[in-house]
Amino acid sequence: MSRLHPADFIPRTPTHMRLRQVGAGLLLATLLGSGAHATGEDATGDEVEIIRAHGYSFYGDLSYDADFEHLNYVNPDAPKGGRISISAQGTFDSMNPFTRQGRAGVLASSMYESLLATSEPMGGGLVPADAYGEAYGLLAHTVEYPETKEWVIFHMRPEARFSDGTPVTAHDVVFSHNLFLEQGLPSYAQAVSARVIGAEALDDHTGRFEFADGISRRSLIDQVGSTPVFSQAWYEETGARLDQSRMEISPGSGPYMLDSFEVNRRITYRRNPDYWGNDLPINVGRHNFDEIRIEYFADGAAAFEAFKTGEYTFRAENNSRQWATGYDFPAIDRSHVVRDELPTGFAPTPTGFVFNLGREFLQDKRVREAIALAWNFEWTNETLQYGLFNQRVSFTQGTEFQADGPPEGLELELLESLGDMVPEEILTQPARMPHTSNPERLTDRRNMRQARVLLEEAGWEVDDAGVLRNAAGERMRIEIPVSSAGSATMDSITETFVQNLQSLGIDARFQRIDSAQHTDRRRNRDYDMIFDQYAAFMDTGTGLHQRYGSETAEFSLFNPAGLASELVDTIIDASLMAPTPEERDAALMALDRVLRHEMFMVPAWYNDTVWVAYWDMFRHPEEIPPFSTGEMDFWWFDQERFDELRAAGALR
């Protein structure tokens, strides 16, 4: 599922509008089990089938029956207790993750639940982590909707409570939905308000949402079902705003509560001993640690040194140099620290050097192609990253939607149906592949010659002083901001890329700035290029428009290039309206093909496993599910092993 995100945090999430009442002829199904059905009437009086189920997927198929006891991959007997700690780099000055102002503390959104369980509160993986595109009841026990998906009713659990003991009601649900529309990110509010045209609390524990006519039914029920739910009473009593940077937080209903924080040093979350949902089947075997702590460090080097001494205890490694050469400290030799590579079923995140298409000179695709030719992945990987990565090709790398050769079958039919909107080369040529480079030297002369030809065709020539200028005599300048909280390896990667750009006569530089400045410049799109990411897709959804579409391209935080393409918009719409899974798959492959053709990002690298290291006091199920590593969700604490490590002097 690709939903719209209510805030810039990767896990997720005008006036109050009244819904028309449920038709008098509507019969509520009372059958138990997966996907019980009844018949009723829609607003026009036509008879429709009403579906009532314990979960939701677009095609109605659910892997878990209504009477499931626990998720398949958890240990239902996992002990509760202990602490896990992770690191963060840089600073934070807010505990409100839903505002554009300030820099929110890590996991600040984790205390809030939604009607459907769609993602882990602390880990960012999916729930369930062994089934893609399915969601099961959390604050709601039942979801009810017509087969046409024109509206949805959520029947909530009356026992649900916020951490202050007050009940979670449908009024809170509607309030939260409207709060995001009024005070949330503009790109989210604009997209959602056009699709969700009404929300109403039918009673204290029944909420109803109505959807616009004439749009795809994709990402509607799961969208409203995954929106975080806040306490209306708290917001009204305090006068706080969702778009306000603040350290005060509203009570959440989740398994963890904010315990304490020291600005720019640490944040501690503690398991709520009175958590209302402890015994729900969806939660059995999960949320096992009593305490989750985040330790802040100025940079990656300081963070790694702290891990070696046990100042924090779980580390997800993203520095290839460190992974290749840094894990030779005493705790490794004594088997006090475990080093592992965990499998993942996700398509890798599309990262790379993103062009700001708002810059006039970067709107010429030939210029972007020339700049991309200065990137030498092979040399960078071998020299700076120890040969540990693969070159990313696709926006949905390694999935069935990755485009390779020329389009054929349903994909070709779709592209041909779009007429002159589709360039001829897309119809006849294989999908765009990244260029190859000489791994033995940073500067690949063949690629640089080709880059100069493209620049000349675009009206940029090198003068007698070796400076690249356009016909008006203006220099080409490119600045790439880099966060000072990042790794030395990232600095080296950016610096060597800049060196090749300079050899083309470009006035290129990378600027190392503090993390708060970097966040601000990213939000305001104050860069020529930036190392950033888009979202991989493994299904269709309205979130694709927020990430890749024109509708919010001017200001969407999820579209750092500002990509606005009529062709991309049309293909996203085709995927949303596809009447069959096969036609949806063909549209997604076409989307991958066209995104690569647009050339708005220089693709970087990817890893098909997750590198982790942790002090040997944590345990996990033998089989890790494909869509989560789960360290803060379904791992647990081994008290006996911790006592052994402490007795050996390894940990305090």
Q: How much is the average pLDDT of 214-234? A: 94
- What is the rounded average pLDDT for all residues in the chain? 91
Strands 47-53 and 36-41: antiparallel
Which range (45-49, 245-249, 260-264, 566-570) has the least confidence?
45-49
pLDDT in tens, 278-304: 999 999 999 999 999 999 999 889 999
Domain contains 443:
yes
Tokens 């409570």: give the residue: 161
pLDDT in tens, 55-108: 999 988 899 999 999 999 999 999 999 999 999 998 999 999 998 788 899 999
Q: How much is the average pLDDT of 149-177? A: 98
Q: What pLDDT, on a 0 to 100 scale, did the predictor assign at position 572?
A: 96
pLDDT in tens, 517-572: 999 999 999 999 999 999 999 999 888 998 999 988 998 889 999 999 999 999 99
The total of other beta-carbon atoms located within 10 Å of residue 290's CB is: 15
Domain contains 594:
yes
Domain contains 299:
no
Q: Is 70 exceeded by the pLDDT of residue 651?
A: yes
CB half-sphere exposure, 24, CA atoms < 13 A: 0
Model confidence band, residue 14 (pLDDT cutoffs 50, 70, 90): very low
What percentage of the chain carries pLDDT values higher than 90?
83
Model confidence band, residue 2 (pLDDT cutoffs 50, 70, 90): low
- Which residues sit opposite 612 in a β-bridge? 316, 340
Among 238, 263, 295, where does a domain finish?
A: 238
H or E segment to which residue 187 belongs: helix 186-195
pLDDT in tens, 369-418: 999 999 999 999 999 999 999 999 999 999 999 999 999 999 999 999 99
pLDDT in tens, 99-147: 878 889 999 999 999 999 999 998 778 999 999 999 999 999 999 999 9
Q: Report which residue type is found at 164.
A: D
Count of domains observed in the chain: 2
Spatial distance between the Cα atoms of 282 and 301, rounded to a whole number of angstroms: 39
Q: What pLDDT, on a 0 to 100 scale, did the predictor assign at position 13?
A: 27
pLDDT in tens, 180-198: 999 998 878 888 999 999 9
Among 238, 257, 292, where does a domain finish?
A: 238
Query: Is the CB of residue 87 less than 8 Å from the CB of residue 294?
Result: yes
pLDDT in tens, 603-627: 999 999 999 999 999 999 999 999 9
Q: Which two tokens stand for residue 645?
A: 């490590």
Q: Is 489 found in the same domain as 356?
A: yes
Q: Which two tokens stand for residue 202?
A: 């039918």
Q: Is 80 exceeded by the pLDDT of residue 514?
A: yes
Q: What pLDDT, on a 0 to 100 scale, did the predictor assign at position 331?
A: 96
Residue-by-residue DSSP string for 567-631: HHHHHHHHHHH-SSHHHHHHHHHHHHHHHHHH--EEE-EE-SEEEEEEETTEE--SSPPTT---T
CATH number at residue 227: 3.40.190.10
Q: What pLDDT, on a 0 to 100 scale, did the predictor assign at position 44?
A: 58
Q: Is 50 exceeded by the pLDDT of residue 16?
A: no
Among 238, 258, 282, where does a domain finish?
A: 238
Q: Is 60 exceeded by the pLDDT of residue 211?
A: yes
Tokens 């006068």: give the residue: 239
What is the distance of C-alpha 289 from the center of its chain? 24
Q: Is 457 found in the same domain as 593?
A: yes
Q: What pLDDT, on a 0 to 100 scale, did the predictor assign at position 27?
A: 27
Please provide the distance, in angstroms rounded to a whole number, between the alpha carbons at the two ends of the chain: 43
Q: Which two tokens stand for residue 422?
A: 């589709």
Domain contains 277:
no
Domain contains 496:
yes
Q: Which two tokens stand for residue 498?
A: 């800049």
The total of other beta-carbon atoms located within 10 Å of residue 511's CB is: 14
Q: What pLDDT, on a 0 to 100 scale, did the predictor assign at position 62?
A: 96
Spatial distance between the Cα atoms of 641 and 259, rounded to a whole number of angstroms: 26
Q: What pLDDT, on a 0 to 100 scale, did the predictor assign at position 500?
A: 98
Spatial distance between the Cα atoms of 519 and 246, rounded to a whole number of angstroms: 17
Q: Is 70 exceeded by the pLDDT of residue 310?
A: yes
CATH number at residue 438: 3.10.105.10
Domain contains 647:
no
Spatial distance between the Cα atoms of 368 and 314, rounded to a whole number of angstroms: 40
Residue-by-residue DSSP string for 349-393: P-EEEEE-TTSGGGGSHHHHHHHHHT--HHHHHHHHSTT--EE--
Domain contains 284:
no
Q: Is 70 exceeded by the pLDDT of residue 37?
A: no
Q: Is 60 exceeded by the pLDDT of residue 467?
A: yes
Q: Is 60 exceeded by the pLDDT of residue 43?
A: no
Q: What pLDDT, on a 0 to 100 scale, did the predictor assign at position 186?
A: 85
Model confidence band, residue 485 (pLDDT cutoffs 50, 70, 90): confident
Tokens 């008290």: give the residue: 639
Query: Is the CB of residue 287 less than 8 Å from the CB of residue 134?
Result: no
Domain contains 372:
yes
Q: Is 76 found in the same domain as 218?
A: yes
Domain residues for the domain of 77 are 36-83+113-238
Q: What pLDDT, on a 0 to 100 scale, did the predictor assign at position 41?
A: 59
Q: Is 60 exceeded by the pLDDT of residue 456?
A: yes
Q: Is 90 exceeded by the pLDDT of residue 487?
A: no
pLDDT in tens, 627-645: 999 999 999 999 999 999 9
- Which residues sit opposite 510 in a β-bridge? 480
Q: What pLDDT, on a 0 to 100 scale, did the predictor assign at position 21?
A: 26
